[in-house]
Structure 1
Amino acid sequence: MNEHLDALSPAPVWRHFRTLCNTPRPSGHEAQLVAVLETWAESQGIDHDRDAFGNLRLRKSATPGHEHTPGLILQGHLDMVAQANADHAHDFRRDPIRTYVADGWLHAEGTTLGADNGLGVAAILALLEDPELTHGPLEALFTLEEESSMGGALGLADDWLEGKLLLNLDSEDHGEVFIGCAGGADVVVDARLPSAALKADECVLRLSLSGLKGGHSGLDIHQPLGNANRLLVRVLRALEHVDARLLNYQGGTLRNAIPREAFADVALPADEQQEAMAIINALGQTLRRELGSGDAGLQLVAEPVSPEGAEPLTLDASTMLVAALHAAPCGVERMSADVPGVVETSNNLGVVSLEQGRFHVCALVRSLHDSAVVAMADRFNALFGLIGARVSVENAYPGWVPNPDGALLKRFKACHQALLGYAPAVNVIHAGLECGILGSKYPHLDMISFGPTIRGAHSPDERVELATVEEFWRLLRALVESLTSR
């Protein structure tokens, strides 16, 4: 599978990326890939071990004569976001990712590509097997469950890693280097809401909102993209005019992906169905105008469905729930005053569901300030507490405080200028890189993050620019070799 990747350059990187595409690795299901990498390491004579969480470490001794070079940790995560278009059947636990090249970019057929963070992992593996590379002591750290919970980094063993420098290869903008990132936390809301039997004069409509682009809830949160949950809740709010009662709801599948689709069933008086359809059609046109070219594919449709066995929420419960969702923070909350053009605080209303009266939300709050994450989570607690919901904060992770004077950054900038002919942009990213967590466990680490250009991460539009992979690889090799000289 994916034989065409073998024809791309740099060949060692793409050969390993082909292995990653052919080995299913959604978050929480990385065991098969870990076994493949351990077998590969043994074939290369590379030491390997795991910590209690299951994170994988590979170790390679320094090139003779460079044993006293500061130890370097090469870090990436093994899991990928599992997102597929609604019309594309794909089992991420069993099926390989099918790729194709178009206009200088590598894409996947109807699914996420896994370039995030597969290309970083592939580059690390290519470095470890490079017989011509001059290097100091190398450690490759491959973490688990980054996309779902940062679980691997949070569960990383203390006093396990030996290196003093760390290269995180999980960034997505060629020509840039990142020295700081947002922290974050999952805000989970659960409630049991009262329902009442369908009335004899009520019918049921099924609402479907689809066709949005989706995207990364950190990198793309400031883009003019629609959030399917935010938009469909707006439709439900408008349907309160005809006493609609929410029956069930499903929107989004991952808390760190901007939701592309959302679906709901509502009960309403049968004699109000025509009015409801008029409201839905008019609002669909309004939403398309508002989104404009930023997310032009929106489709909003409604159709009658069988009401058999339906038991929607009571009118009061439905009204209160929709109002709470409508008022919930979503999108950019504040731009940074200290880092121009960078989002400071945001929230992604990622997963929303209602089934048989059981309501659930999983939102992802991010901020450059840990205190702002706490404050946003408390707003959820205050808001959804009004409807009797339980609110918890889970999987919190710290931000990565920038160090613009780090020695590793200076070395990277010099290599970038010498090899590519221009200075890299030094930035802070709103996404949640693992560096913040790693730095909290190993505060002595000098860290930077860089990578090739990836667009549409966390969505089936994910793609990587081939030319930037070539330059990323050259830069990575040059940097590793430069660290052996004073």
Structure 2
Amino acid sequence: MSELSQLSPQPLWQFFAEICSIPHPSYHEEALAAHILKWAKSKGLHAERDEAGNILLRKPATPGLENLTPVALQAHLDMVPQKNNETEHDFTRDPIKPYVDGEWVKARGTTLGADNGIGMASALAVLADDTVEHGPLEVLLTMTEETGMAGAFGLQPNWLQADILINTDSEEEGEVYMGCAGGIDFKSHLALSREDIPAGYQTVQLTIKGLKGGHSGADIHLGLGNANKLLARFLFLQGKKLDLRLINFTGGTLRNAIPREAFATLALPQENLESLQQQIHAYLSVIKTELAAVEKKLALQLDQVPAQGLVLDSGCNERFIALLNAMPNGVVRMSDDVKGVVETSLNVGVVSMDEDKAEIRCLIRSLIDSGKEDVVGTLTALGQLAGAETTAKGSYPGWKPDPSSPVMKLVEETYQTLFNKTPNIQVIHAGLECGLFKKPYPDMDMVSIGPTITGPHSPDEQVHIASVALYWQLLTALLKAIPVKA
């Protein structure tokens, strides 16, 4: 933590260090929430929570700026819990261990939580630093954004007093976001039928690992390898030839993180083991070539393991592998309206299996509702063909761009004045909470900014130190530049 305390702006980094020290993965934010409320009350700030658990803090305007339009700074309390396979870490109990590596702050073997911990830290730093000039100010910290946006869904009208909301959940300094994709969760459940492992069969585990992983929205266009899909592809290619019979298949941990690892426990005739090893070697060469530009550490590993459990019978084995292999993944369509931005995508995020059923969890994202509906239809049809039960739920709206937004124009002008260059006005293919905020607060003017964060939702997550200083400079200048309330 001492490393972070040496960074500038110091109040922001100090808050971020405190946030890292308190475990706060999704559904486990209470300790962090209690810490923030205690701090706010010690500072004499107005502090309260709603039924969804969201926190609202208020600070009076700097003397002389009482007539400025009220502003809310917004961040979410939770972080994505992802770790490297060899890292021992309990996200519900262990602190994140940040460290400085050249121009970046990283974490040791886990996600860093800069998404959205830096934004949260910046909002708290504004409240703490009386040298920052601002009008009437609110800070809204929402619950469980990463796994369904529960706090944003539960936000009630007439709680916030602000007319402008600045979301701090963007991840590229120099870009200003005025819109985002909506999303929906999709699950496929396939009933499994099993039988004894045939005599003369060897049990092995096939592991794919070393993939980068990443954010299933912001990184989906990068062509990163999806461990679930790559392993399913091999099983489909070689399953019948080598009589590969599944005992278990697991891959990925979160539907909004591109899966980095997947594991298949298999039984096959002893005489086919050498052929399996040869085919793995050949397949690894193929996918390394295909993904050479983006995946440098991709590996396939075969281990012999003790015989355990039952195998899927031949028909069930074939249906499961075919279903997983046939599922689309990645970019479905690029936007015609916003050049260079993904319109519709999906991530085959989590695959799990128990004795009697397999579950495949996907997250579909789209800038347009019809895009989500189209992918839901495709996955539903695949489920019907495979005999799987399917459900689509948890739909949340996108944030429709408003090119005439006054606060977006103000951010653009402020950035130009500060840095003598024009920021990029963007629509992001990720789920920001702004679209949900528009339901209880339809007239609120919104914008999203943030520092440069790479590898969010993966253990490679890192935040660029210099960009945090630039983001802080923009944020504090913007608060002072807010116009007088009409």
Residue 402 of structure 2 aligns with which residue?
A: 403
Q: CA RMSD in A?
A: 1.2
Q: TM-score, normalised on structure 1?
A: 0.97
Query: For 1:58 and 1:189, how far apart are their aligned partners in 2?
Result: 41
Query: Cα offset for 1:445?
Result: 1.0
Q: How does 1:28-427 map to 2 (within 5 A)?
A: 28-240=27-239, 241-308=241-308, 310-427=309-426
Amino acid in the other structure paired with 1:450: I
Between 467-476 and 349-358, report the one with greater CA deviation: 349-358
Query: Cα offset for 1:394?
Result: 2.2
Query: Cα offset for 1:138?
Result: 1.1
- Structure 2: runs of 5+ lacking an equivalent: none
Query: For 1:481 and 1:160, how far apart are their aligned partners in 2?
Result: 24
Query: Cα offset for 1:378?
Result: 2.0
Query: Cα offset for 1:152?
Result: 1.2
Query: For 1:402 and 1:264, how far apart are their aligned partners in 2?
Result: 43
Amino acid in the other structure paired with 2:454: R
Task: Please give the per-residue CA displacement for 1:59-110, whole angstroms capped at 9, x wherever unaligned.
Answer: 1122334333222111000100101101111111111111111121111111
Query: Cα offset for 1:485?
Result: 4.8
Query: Cα offset for 1:355?
Result: 2.2
Conserved 8 A contact 1:66-1:484: no
Query: Cα offset for 1:346?
Result: 0.4
Query: For 2:51 and 2:384, how far apart are their aligned partners in 1?
Result: 37
Query: For 1:378 and 1:293, how far apart are their aligned partners in 2?
Result: 32
Query: Cα offset for 1:205?
Result: 1.6
Conserved 8 A contact 1:243-1:315: no
1:148 aligns to what SS in structure 2?
Answer: coil
Conserved 8 A contact 1:190-1:358: yes
Task: Please give the per-residue CA displacement for 1:100-125, whole angstroms capped at 9, x wherever unaligned.
Answer: 11121111111111100000000000
Conserved 8 A contact 1:402-1:428: yes
Query: For 2:404 and 2:318, how far apart are their aligned partners in 1?
Result: 53
Between 128-137 and 143-152, report the one with greater CA deviation: 128-137
Query: For 2:63 and 2:483, how far apart are their aligned partners in 1?
Result: 11
Give the number of equivalent residue pairs.
484
Amino acid in the other structure paired with 2:263: F
Conserved 8 A contact 1:173-1:452: yes
Percent identity, please: 46
Conserved 8 A contact 1:52-1:157: no
Query: Cα offset for 1:484?
Result: 4.6
Conserved 8 A contact 1:249-1:355: no
Q: TM-score, normalised on structure 2?
A: 0.97
Task: Please give the per-residue CA displacement for 1:299-325, whole angstroms capped at 9, x wherever unaligned.
Answer: 1011221114x2111111111111111
Amino acid in the other structure paired with 2:65: H
2:234 aligns to what SS in structure 1?
Answer: helix
1:96 aligns to what SS in structure 2?
Answer: coil
Amino acid in the other structure paired with 2:246: L
Query: For 2:50 and 2:295, how far apart are their aligned partners in 1?
Result: 43
Query: Cα offset for 1:238?
Result: 2.0
2:426 aligns to what SS in structure 1?
Answer: strand
Amino acid in the other structure paired with 1:284: L
Query: Cα offset for 1:483?
Result: 0.7
Task: Please give the per-residue CA displacement for 1:389-418, whole angstroms capped at 9, x wherever unaligned.
Answer: 221112211000001111111111111111
1:347 aligns to what SS in structure 2?
Answer: strand
Conserved 8 A contact 2:182-2:431: yes
Query: For 1:251 and 1:195, how far apart are their aligned partners in 2?
Result: 20
Query: Cα offset for 1:255?
Result: 0.6
Amino acid in the other structure paired with 2:191: R
Task: Please give the per-residue CA displacement for 1:264-318, whole angstroms capped at 9, x wherever unaligned.
Answer: 111222222222222122111111111113102111011221114x211111111
Conserved 8 A contact 2:190-2:320: no
Between 123-132 and 22-31, report the one with greater CA deviation: 123-132
1:237 aligns to what SS in structure 2?
Answer: helix
Query: Cα offset for 1:387?
Result: 2.5
Whether 1:438 and 2:437 are equivalent positions in the alignment is yes
Conserved 8 A contact 2:454-2:463: yes
2:222 aligns to what SS in structure 1?
Answer: coil
Query: For 2:316 and 2:377, how far apart are their aligned partners in 1?
Result: 22
- Structure 1: runs of 5+ lacking an equivalent: none
Task: Please give the per-residue CA displacement for 1:344-367, whole angstroms capped at 9, x wherever unaligned.
Answer: 100000001122232011111000
Query: For 1:388 and 1:151, how far apart are their aligned partners in 2?
Result: 32
1:149 aligns to what SS in structure 2?
Answer: coil
Query: For 2:297 and 2:312, how far apart are their aligned partners in 1?
Result: 31
2:292 aligns to what SS in structure 1?
Answer: helix
Conserved 8 A contact 2:67-2:484: no
Conserved 8 A contact 1:217-1:256: yes
Amino acid in the other structure paired with 2:222: Q
Query: Cα offset for 1:329?
Result: 1.3
